[in-house]
Amino acid sequence: MRSFLPMNWGVAPGSKVARGRRWPTAGARARARSFEIYRYDPESGGGPRVDIYEVDRDDCGPMVLDALLKIKNEVDPTLTFRRSCREGVCGSCSMNIDGRNWLACTQAIDDIEGPVRVFPLSHMRVIKDLVVDQSHLFDQHKLIEPWLHAEEPPPERERLQSPEERAKLDGYYECILCFSCTGGCPSYWWNGDRYLGPAVLLQAYRWLIDSRDEATGERLDELEDPFRLYRCHTIMNCTKTCPKGLEPAKAIAEIKAMLVKRRQ
């Protein structure tokens, strides 16, 4: 797996986030809201800075993503961020908004007081502006083999589950891999090279409890490791910062309980 350093937001140890430029207002100034947005372009050779943009709320959609799109389309086309669905289902627009990791497309501007501060997802390596390097996260996701393992040949139609078996996946299958939780986890900040982090562990649990999966033992073997699983110290930031209302900390506790149970 890839090295995880340097982390944001100073980009390099000792570097500072400088005050950037103030851009002209997008639209009229009638109900202008101020957006303070982290900018970093490694190709420029300069350090990171925070630029200030004014956006007229009467001429902009309700969400932070609407404002980012307006700024990009009408003021500063160099502003760089990820987004796709605009509906809270693809997970690509996760970033740090007003001090909390969340989805820009589900964060209402009017729910934030004062200037809207937008930074990249915390403690990830920044590629440019609000885009972070997710390679290591997806390498870790691959490690848990997030697909069905079954020795039985596939039936003619689908593999059946009872309604009760299916209901066990509720609260886990909805994860959109936005990594808000992982970016907000102090244990991951310090041990992200080997600790799998809340998002990947929630995904691992989703497969452990799938009644159709036949690799429970092997999956637990892979997780029973002082770093991969046991670096979770139940800090609970993950649950607070999940924009889908999921509970990664609970999933991690359940995995630990499964490991204890199989030793008995």
**Residue 107 near residue 64, CB atoms below 8 Å:** yes
> Positive or negative, the Cα torsion across 211, 214, 217, 218?
negative
Q: Of 35, 50, 88, 120, which lies in the binding site for ligand FES, with binding defined by CB under 6 A?
A: 88
Strand partners, 22: 52
**Residue 104 near residue 81, CB atoms below 8 Å:** yes
Residue 116 near which of ligand FES, ligand SF4, none (CB within 5-8 Å, type-dependent): none
Q: Which stretch binds ligand FES (CB under 6 A): 83-91, 139-147, 219-227, 231-239?
A: 83-91
Question: What's the min distance (Å) between Cβ of 242 and ligand SF4?
Answer: 3
Helix (H) or strand (E) holding 119: strand 116-119
Q: Of 7, 11, 52, 90, which lies in the binding site for ligand FES, with binding defined by CB under 6 A?
A: 90
In the range 210-249, which residues lie near ligand FES by CB under 6 A?
none
Residue 84 near which of ligand SF4, ligand FES, none (CB within 5-8 Å, type-dependent): ligand FES
CB atoms within 10 A of CB 24: 9
Q: Any residues with CB less than 8 A from the CB of 262 and at least 6 apart, and which? A: 217, 220
9 or 179: CB nearest ligand SF4 = 179
Helix (H) or strand (E) holding 131: strand 131-132
88 or 248: CB nearest ligand FES = 88
Cα(120)–Cα(134) distance, rounded to whole angstroms? 12
| 91 forms part of the interface with ligand FES (CB under 6 A) | yes
| 69 forms part of the interface with ligand FES (CB under 6 A) | no
Residue 93 near which of ligand SF4, ligand FES, none (CB within 5-8 Å, type-dependent): ligand FES
88 or 198: CB nearest ligand FES = 88
Q: Any residues with CB less than 8 A from the CB of 191 and at least 6 apart, and which? A: 227, 231
Cα(237)–Cα(250) distance, rounded to whole angstroms? 12
Question: What's the min distance (Å) between Cβ of 181 and ligand FES?
Answer: 14
83 or 228: CB nearest ligand FES = 83
Cα(219)–Cα(262) distance, rounded to whole angstroms? 13
Q: Which stretch binds ligand FES (CB under 6 A): 9-17, 90-98, 114-122, 185-193?
A: 90-98
Residue 239 near which of ligand SF4, ligand FES, none (CB within 5-8 Å, type-dependent): none
Question: What's the min distance (Å) between Cβ of 199 and ligand SF4?
Answer: 4
Question: By 3-state DSSP, what share of the chain in percent is helix, strand and coil, each rounded to 5?
Answer: 30, 15, 55
72 or 250: CB nearest ligand SF4 = 250
Please report, as ranges, the residues that interact with ligand FES according to CB under 6 A: 83-86, 88-93, 103, 105
